[in-house]
Chain A
Amino acid sequence: MSSNTSDIKQTDDRFRQVVEAAPNAMVMVDKSGVIEMVNTQAEIIFGYRREELLGQSIDCLLPERFRHQHPHHRDSFFSDLRPRAMGIGRDLFGRHKDGSEFPVEVGLNPIETEDGIKVLSAITDISARKRMEERFRLVVEAAPNAMVMVDKSGVIEMVNTQAEIIFGYRREELLGQSIDCLLPERFRHQHPHHRDSFFSDLRPRAMGIGRDLFGRHKDGSEFPVEVGLNPIETEDGIKVLSAITDISARVKVNQKLAEHHEELERSNKELATFAYVASHDLKSPLRGIFQISQWIEEDLGNGDILSIPSHMNLLRGRLRRMELLLDDLLAYSRAGRMEGGLSQIDLGVLAHDIFDMQALPDGFKLLTADDLPTFTTLATPLEQVLRNLFTNAVKHHDQSTGSIKLDWQPKNKDYYELSVTDDGPGIPPEYHERVFVMFQTLRPRDEVEGSGMGLALVKKIVENYGGKTSITSDGIRGTTIHFTWPVNIKGRAPIADSI
């Protein structure tokens, strides 16, 4: 019996030594919350001497505002005895003798003793860690980017104000949700896979290199983003802190730049073509005129008067050609700059008006589809396109009668496809590209007077409004010029003045 008692005493002593040596503060209370044992660490962090605590209620170590709930929590612990952390999900605080509070973590262990069940609590002062966490939160909050921290399964644990702003959610709507809600739906199914591969190779890096990334606003709209990923080790495991930048503005600027660049390239190419052809097409009538004047001089000197009228004819022809070239060149350079205003047009009526005004030979007639649309557009450039196509069709016709047909079909929601078909000699496929280049003619100007600007002008106008031109012809009979025209046209100021 006595040996038994001394055994128990020995065990008890050993237990006290272990508790004393523990690196945490340890406090043992009985079922009613009376403190039965404390260690030196407990004395230090709470500021009491041991004898001040023993026999007191554990409540003295709690801030007053928590004291009334404590018996209830204690009872529920005693009704389900197992070691566990106190107050999961709640912030716990200890109370120093001087009345100050500090954040704590508390582990609870039930201990069976001779006088019944006791609770041994291990208490850690986590002020330093809390300060670190707070500092981290402030850094995240102060970041100029949106920051979102998720755990391994993609649940959002922290966001900053920027994230609230760019995604349109309030903080409390995001915390605890899956990160998926910030992604466009079409990317969601791949995301877990990408996340897993990030976790399997933890290093800071940019997300989705080479892919275009998009965020999804609460209102469902999408915006381009750049995302930097940083693994963060925390006490509850690895988290990912993502820095998200809304790059809409940059993308828009880049698009604008690309458009300007393209426009500049087009305009430069046009200028180069112009410089090239100006040296030939514009100079050749001048050279001709100069030459004819020499012939007239020579022939008059030789007394050959009979040749003079034909020289004069040729000379006037060159003057007219020069004038035509200059007029058409001017029209070309102005294409897209003279838009007039928006007006509602009935395409059928407009086409017949244009056709009638051209004073084309009597043998030619215009056929129009019955259901040509009526819509609001910039009438001036559309008229210019149709006028050029009609006169072209008649000018290059090989017969004295013919018909020209204007047809249409809706191409997509943004464009109509219009087509002008003639029954002239056609254009062989090998010339289909060339006919749209300025100053290109398929027959010598001495046979068919023309600037070679007609289709180039059509192409330029149509492309100015985002449309496309194309040509179908077997080169045997008939040519169709197709072009698309916007259903809802927007006037567009040219970026660079073209020649």
Chain B
Amino acid sequence: MQTQSRHNYKEVTLLVVDDDDIDAIALERALRKLRLLNTLHRARDGLEALTLLRSGAIPPPYIILLDLNMPRMNGLEFLQALRTDPMLTHAVVFVLTTSKSDEDLVAAYRRHVAGYVFKQHMDRDFLEVIGLIEHYWRIVELPVNKEMS
């Protein structure tokens, strides 16, 4: 059990899908602050994220941190594409958004996100979120290879 969780702890990759540079930098800084060495990948919209995922550039296990409001393909459209793709449908996704709309929240959970987090408390930075996700990947077993789905 110990070794298993430590294994995940080291291996898990983060994919940030967000068009805002500041949010991406903030996540990086939060990881650094918590002395986490996980690889952080960045996509600026849903399309870019899909391309990265399908190309295999993101090694499993991974967790996707998804913004909703983005150019070209927004977060909900990305989730739709993700869940209908047999190779990607198992992906663990946390939505990080400024949208407080109930429709967005319901739509996101309907597409099976692991959690929906408001980026509204500016003072709390991304530390809390990264902290939560760190706990999550330490305790939760993540799908490792695509055949598992």
Contacts and interface: CB of A to CB of B under 8 A. Distances in A.
Interface of A: 276-277, 279-281, 283-284, 286-288, 290-292, 294-295, 314, 318, 431, 440-447
Given A287-B122, A291-B22, A314-B22, A279 B98 contact: yes
Given A287-B119, A442-B71, A445-B19, A280 B98 contact: yes
B29 interface: yes
Contacts of A442: 71-72
Interface of B: 19-23, 25-26, 29, 44-45, 68-72, 97-101, 119, 122-123, 125
A288 B99 contact: no
B125 A291 contact: yes
B101 A443 contact: no
Contact of A279 (B19, B99, B122): B99
Given A281-B69, A442-B72, 7 more contacts: A280-B99, A284-B98, A290-B123, A443-B44, A443-B71, A444-B20, A445-B19
Contacts of B125: 291, 294
Interface of A is mostly: helix
Contact of B22 (A279, A281, A283, A288): A288
A444 B19 contact: yes
Contact of B72 (A291, A431, A446): A431
Across chains A and B, which 3 residue pairs bring their CB atoms closest together, nearest first? A444-B19, A288-B22, A280-B69
Contacts of B21: 314, 444, 446
A443 B47 CA distance: 11
Nearest to B98: A280
Given A279-B100, A295-B29, A288 B71 contact: no
Contact of B71 (A287, A318, A444): A444
5 contacts: A279-B101, A290-B122, A295-B25, A440-B71, A444-B19
A287 B98 contact: yes
A291 B101 CA distance: 23
A294 B22 CA distance: 12
A446 B122 contact: no
A281 B72 CA distance: 15
Contact of A288 (B20, B97, B101): B20
Contacts of B123: 290, 294
A425 B43 CA distance: 21
Nearest to B72: A442
Contacts of A444: 19-21, 44-45, 70-71
Contacts of B23: 288
B99 A276 contact: yes
A169 B8 CA distance: 94
B26 A284 contact: no
B82 to A, nearest CB: 17
